[in-house]
């Protein structure tokens, strides 16, 4: 199976349990740009249709800003800022957050 197919099968298996929360750790890692976009669209569709809360761990700032309704920026296990993508990008609370999202 391809990487995308394998990841979608894993997500589908998790959803079969009808969870209220879905935790995804770097689900788009090692995918090329087109496959990454396809997977992001599919995850957002699943979120909307099933209304499942999704926690997404990513080191990709663009991915976090585009995929999230709310973001927690962590540094050394500490929450530096929690907010909407708009708030985090436009009003970073710390120098670390500004640097991380590219507004510094």
What is the reported pLDDT for 14? 86
- To which residue do tokens 């510094």 refer? 104
The three-state secondary structure class of 62 is helix
Q: Structural domains in the chain?
A: 1-58 (3.40.50.300), 69-104 (no CATH)
What is the reported pLDDT for 94? 96
Residue 30 to residue 71: CA distance in whole angstroms? 22
What is the reported pLDDT for 56? 92
What is the reported pLDDT for 30? 81
Q: What percent of the chain has pLDDT over 90?
A: 39
* Stretches in the chain below the pLDDT threshold 50: none
What is the reported pLDDT for 46? 85
What is the reported pLDDT for 70? 95
């Amino acid at each position: 199976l391809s990487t995308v197919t394998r990841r979608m099968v894993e997500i589908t298996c998790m959803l079969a349990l009808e969870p209220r929360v879905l935790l995804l750790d770097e689900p788009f890692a090692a995918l090329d740009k087109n496959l990454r976009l396809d997977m992001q669209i599919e995850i957002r569709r699943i979120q909307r249709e099933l209304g499942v809360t999704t926690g997404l761990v990513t080191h990709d700032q663009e991915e976090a800003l585009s995929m999230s309704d709310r973001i927690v920026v962590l540094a050394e296990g500490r929450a530096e800022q929690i907010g909407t993508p708009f708030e985090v990008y436009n009003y970073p609370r710390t120098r670390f957050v500004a640097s991380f999202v590219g507004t510094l």
